[in-house]
Amino acid sequence: MKEIDRLIAQLFPAENGGSKVLDLKFFPGEQAVTVEEFCKEVHAAFVQVDSGQSHVSASYPEELSPVHVDRFLATA
């Protein structure tokens, strides 16, 4: 089974017991990864949460600093 198939099965199980994915975002890191590598890491993270190996939080504290769009684009 390919990693993308494992991730899809984790996100959208055939028998989901009423659960659903409401909002899920991924942001690019500093280095390129393949689809296979990405799916493997995301699947592993979900398995850790579902098995109780990882702490689940209801919120994510954000400390935002405004940055002018020209400065942001210049670093890309």
Short-list 50, 32, 40, 34, CA closest to 4: 40
String of DSSP letters for 58-71: S----------HHH
The pLDDT, as a whole number, for residue 16 is: 66
Note the Cα 53 to chain centre separation in Å.
17
Q: Which residues contact 72 (CB under 8 A, 6 or more apart)?
A: none
Question: Domains of the chain: which residue ranges?
Answer: 1-14+30-53
The pLDDT, as a whole number, for residue 3 is: 84
The pLDDT, as a whole number, for residue 61 is: 78
The pLDDT, as a whole number, for residue 22 is: 67
| 13, 17, 20, 25: CA torsion to nearest 10 | -60
Give me the average pLDDT of each 10-residue run along the chain (76 residues): 81 72 77 88 86 80 80 69
The pLDDT, as a whole number, for residue 70 is: 82
